[in-house]
Amino acid sequence: MKKLEIEFTINNQKRRLSVKPNDLLINIIRNDLFLTGSKYGCGIGECGACTVLLNGEPVLSCLALAATVDGKEITTIEGLAKGNELHPMQIAFLKNAAVQCGFCTPSMILTATALLKENPNPTEDEIRDYMRGNICRCTGYIQIVKAIEECASGRKTS
Amino acid sequence: MQTNTKILASEFEYFAPHTLEEALDLLAKYQDKKAKILAGGTDLLVKMKTTNLKLDFLINIKNIPELNFVTWDDGLKIGAVTSLSQVEKSEEVRTRYLALSEAIKAMAAPAIRNMGSIAGNLCNASPAADTAPPLMIYGAEVKLVSKRGERQVAVEDFLIGPGKTVISSDELLIQIDIPALDKNTGSSFLKISRVKADLSKINIAVYLKREDKVCRDCKIVFGAVAERPIRAKGAENMLINQPLTPALLTKVAQRSAEEIRPINDVRSTAEYRSKVAKVLTEEAVKLAWERAGGELKI
Amino acid sequence: MEKQQFDFIGKNFDLKNIGKVTGKEIYSSDVHIPGQLYAVVLRSPFPHAEIKKVDYSEAEKMGAICLGPNDVPNILYNERIVSIPEKTYRDRTVLPQDKVRHVGEAIAACAAETEEEAFAALKKIKVEWGKKWPPLINLDEAKEANAPPIYDYVYLGEERVDINNNIACERNVEVGDIAEGFKEADEIVERTFNTQRVYHMQLETKSAVCIPEADGGITVWTTSQGIHNVRILLGNIFNLPLSKVNVKRITIGGSFGSSIQMNSITPICVALALKAKRPVKLVSSREEDIYDHAKYPLRTTLKIGAKRNGILTAAHCRVWVEIGGHNIQAYPYLGCVAGWFASLYKWKKLKYEGTAVYTNKVPTCALQGYGNPQINFAVECLMDILAEKLDIDPLELRLKNYVGKGDEFWGQGPTVRSIIRSCGVEEMLIKGSKLVGWEKRTLPSKKRGEIRKGLGVARGFHTSGTGGPNLGEVIDYSSATIKINEDGSVDVLTALMDVGGGTWDAGAKVVAEVLKVPYDKVGIYNGVDTRSTGYDVNTHATRGVYCGCGAIKFVAEKVKEILLGYAATLFKDLPDNLELAYNDELGQAIIYPKGLPENYKTVDEIAKTAQIKSWGTMAYTGSLRQKNCPPCFITHFVEVEVNTKTGEIKIPRAVIMGDSGTIINPDLWEGQIIGAFSRGLGFGLLEETKYSSITGNLECNGMITDLKIPSSVEMPKIDSLTVQSAHTYEPTGPFGAKGIGEAALSSVASAIANAVYNAIGIRFYELPITPEKVLKALEEKEERSEKIAD
Which amino acid is it at C511?
Answer: V
**Length of chain C counted residue by residue:** 790
Task: Tell me yes or no: is domain A88-151 CATH 1.10.150.120.
Answer: yes
Q: Do the Cβ atoms of C607 and C487 come closer than 8 Å?
A: yes
Q: Where are the beta strands (DSSP E) in chain B?
A: 13-15, 35-38, 57-60, 70-72, 75-79, 141-146, 149-154, 159-161, 164-165, 172-179, 185-192, 202-211, 214-223, 230-231, 242-243
Reply yes or no on whether the pLDDT at C16 is more than 90: no
Percent of chain C with pLDDT over 90: 95
* Domain spans, chain A: 4-79, 88-151
Residue ranges of A 67-96 with Cβ closer than 8 A to chain C: 76-78, 80-81, 86, 90-91, 93-96
- The answer to whether position C180 is within a domain reads no
Between chains, do B50 and C701 touch, taking CB under 8 Å as contact? yes
Ramachandran region, residue C94 (left: φ > 0; alpha: ψ -120 to 50; beta: rest) = alpha
Type of residue numbered C233: L
pLDDT at residue number C171: 96
Distance from CA of C378 to the nearest CA of A (A): 25
Instruction: Give C-chain residues touching A35 at CB under 8 angstroms.
Output: 23
Closest residue in A to B112 (Cα–Cα): A59
CATH of region A4-79: 3.10.20.30
Which domain range does residue C596 map to?
Answer: 18-24+477-624
Last residue of a domain, one of C624, C652, C675: C624
Nearest C-alpha in A relative to B3: A43
Chain C residues whose CB is inside 8 A of the B4 CB are 40, 115, 119, 285
Predicted confidence at residue A154, as pLDDT, reads 84
Q: Which of B2, B14, B63 to mutate to test the interface with A (most CBs of A within 10 A)?
A: B14
CATH number of domain containing C231 = 3.90.1170.50
Torsion, CA A16, CA A22, CA A25, CA A26, rounded to 10: -130
In the sheet that C721-725 helps form, which strands lie side by side, from edge to edge? C451-463, C631-643, C649-659, C721-725
> Which of helix, strand or coil describes residue B90?
coil
> Which of B266, B274, B278 should we substitute to test contact with C (largest number of C Cβ atoms within 10 Å)?
B266
Determine the Cα angle at C221 with ends C218 and C227, to 5°: 90
Nearest to A133 among B12, B58, B197 (CB): B197
Segment C743-747 mean pLDDT: 98
Between vectors from CA C658 to CA C654 and to CA C664, what angle results, nearest 5°? 125
User: What's phi and psi for A28, nearest 5 deg?
Assistant: -70, -35
Strands A13-19 and A51-54: unpaired
The answer on C676 and C775 residing in a single domain is yes
CB–CB contact B3 C771 (8 Å): no
pLDDT for the residue numbered C690: 97
Q: What is the phi/psi pair of residue C579, to 5°?
A: -120, 135
φ, ψ at C641 (rounded to 5°): -130, 115
The reply to whether residue B38 touches residue A68, judged by beta carbons under 8 angstroms, is: yes
Sequence letter at residue C770: T
The yes-or-no verdict on residue A158 having pLDDT over 70 is no
pLDDT value for C602: 97
Nearest CB to A142 within list C27, C674, C704: C674
Residue in C12, C13, C18, C22 to test binding to A, most A beta-carbons within 10 Å: C22
Q: Which residues of A touch B35 (CB under 8 A)?
A: none
Give pLDDT, residue C1. 43
The overall average pLDDT reported for chain C is 96
Nearest to C287 among B3, B192, B268 (CB): B3
Does any domain span residue C491?
yes
Of C624, C645, C667, at which residue does a domain stop?
Answer: C624
> How, if at all, do strands C349-357 and C312-322 pair?
parallel
- Pick from C20, C205, C671: CB nearest A102: C20
pLDDT of residue A156: 54
- C691 shares a domain with C558: no
Residue C411's pLDDT band (boundaries 50, 70, 90)? confident
Contact check, Cβ <8 Å, B271/C686: no
Q: Do B13 and A48 touch (CB under 8 A)?
A: no
Same domain, C458 and C311: yes
What is the side-by-side strand order in the sheet with C126-132?
A: C99-100, C49-55, C126-132
Single-letter code of the amino acid located at A39: K
Cα separation, C397 vs C383, whole angstroms: 8
The three-point CA angle C120-C126-C128 to 5° equals 160
Identify all chain B residues contacting A114, using CB atoms and an 8 Å cutoff.
110
* pLDDT range class, residue C788, cuts 50, 70, 90: low
> What is the spatial distance between Cα C707 and Cα C717, in angstroms, rounded to a whole number?
24
Nearest to A141 among C202, C670, C715 (CB): C715
> What is the C-alpha separation between C668 and C676, in angstroms, rounded?
12
Residue in A3, A4, A22 to test binding to B, most B beta-carbons within 10 Å: A22
Kindly state whether residue C155 falls inside one of the protein's structural domains. Answer: no
Q: Which of C494, C549, C495, C787 is nearest to C668 (CA)?
A: C549
Q: Which chains touch B (3 or more CB pairs under 8 A)?
A: A, C
Same domain, C336 and C381: yes
Rounded to an integer, what distance in angstroms lies between the CA atom of residue C589 and that of residue C582?
Answer: 5
| Domain total of chain C | 3
B279 in contact with C at a CB cutoff of 8 Å? yes
Using CA atoms, how far apart are residues C586 and C609, in angstroms rounded to an integer?
19
Provide the residue type at C267 as one letter: P
For A81-123, the pLDDT digits (tens) are 998 899 999 999 999 999 999 999 999 999 999 999 999 999 9
Share of chain A above pLDDT 70, in %: 97
Q: Classify residue C6: in a domain, yes or no.
A: no
Residue C787: pLDDT band with limits 50, 70, 90: confident
Q: Is the same domain home to C249 and C328? A: no
Q: What chain A residue is nearest to B8 in terms of C-alpha separation?
A: A22
Q: In what order do the strands lie in the sheet with C588-593?
A: C578-583, C588-593, C601-602
B31 to chain A nearest CA, in Å? Answer: 20
Question: DSSP class of residue C29?
Answer: G
Best of C124, C206, C772 to mutate (most B CBs within 10 Å, chain B): C772
Q: Is C609 exposed, middle or buried (0-12, 13-18, 19+ CB in 10 A)?
A: middle
Single residue among C624, C650, C671 that ends a domain in this structure: C624
CB contact under 8 A, C119 and B50: no
Radius of gyration of chain B (CA): 20
Give the B:C interface size as CB pairs under 8 Å. Answer: 68
Q: How far apart are CA C516 and CA C588, in angstroms?
A: 7
A19: distance to nearest CA of chain B, Å? Answer: 11
Same domain membership, residue C82 and residue C111? yes
- The two domains A4-79 and A88-151 share their CATH topology (first three levels equal): no
DSSP C31-98: ---TTPEEEEEEE-SSSSEEEEEEE-HHHHHTT-EEE-GGGS----B-S---B-GGG-EE-B-SS-SS
Binning pLDDT at 50, 70 and 90, where does residue C25 land? very high
Query: Is B50 at the interface with chain A, CB within 8 A?
Result: yes
Across the interface, whether the CB atoms of C22 and A81 are under 8 A apart is answered yes
Residues C313 and C456 grouped into a single domain? yes
Q: What is the CATH number of the domain that holds C546?
A: 3.30.365.10
A115 touches chain B (CB under 8 A): yes
Q: What is the C-alpha to C-alpha distance for residues C283 and C289, in angstroms, rounded to an integer? A: 10
Closest residue in C to A143 (Cα–Cα): C671
Q: What is the pLDDT of residues C298-351, one digit of tens each?
A: 999 999 999 999 999 999 999 999 999 999 999 999 999 999 999 999 999 999
CA gyration radius, chain C: 27
Compare all CA atoms of chain C with the CA of B198 and give the residue at the minimum distance. Answer: C705
Chain A residue with the nearest C-alpha to that of C682:
A137
Name the B residues in 80-119 with CB < 8 Å from any C CB: none
On chain A, the residues whose CB falls within 8 A of the CB of C204 are: 39, 41, 101, 103
For residue A155, what pLDDT is reported?
63
Reported as a single tens digit per residue, the pLDDT across B105-142 is 999 899 999 999 999 999 999 999 999 999 999 999 99
Between chains, do A140 and C24 touch, taking CB under 8 Å as contact?
no
pLDDT classification of C739: cutoffs 50, 70, 90: very high
Are C286 and C322 within 8 A, CB to CB?
Answer: no
Most C-contacting residue of B272, B279, B280, B282 (CB-CB within 10 A), to test interface: B272
**At residue C428, what are phi and psi to the nearest 5 degrees?**
-70, -40
d(CA B59, CA B37): 5
Q: What is the pTM of this model?
A: 0.97
* Predicted local confidence at residue A157, as pLDDT: 46
Contact A111 B10 (CB under 8 A): no
Task: Check if B180 contacts C (Cβ < 8 Å).
Answer: no
Residue C487, classed as helix, strand or coil, is coil
Residue C3: per-residue pLDDT: 55
- Using CB atoms within 10 A of its CB, is residue C786 exposed (0-12), middle (13-18) or buried (19+)? exposed
Q: Is the pLDDT of residue C599 over 70?
A: yes
Q: How far is C41 from chain B (nearest CA, A)?
A: 10
Query: What's the gap in Å between the CA of A146 and the closest CA on chain B?
Result: 20
- Cα B236 from chain centroid (whole Å): 19
Residue A51 has pLDDT above 80, yes or no: yes
Sign of CA dihedral C582, C584, C588, C591: negative
- For residue B195, list chain C residues with Cβ-Cβ distance below 8 A: 686, 708-711, 713-714
Neighbors of chain A with 3 or more C-beta pairs under 8 Å: B, C
CB contact under 8 A, C704 and A44: yes
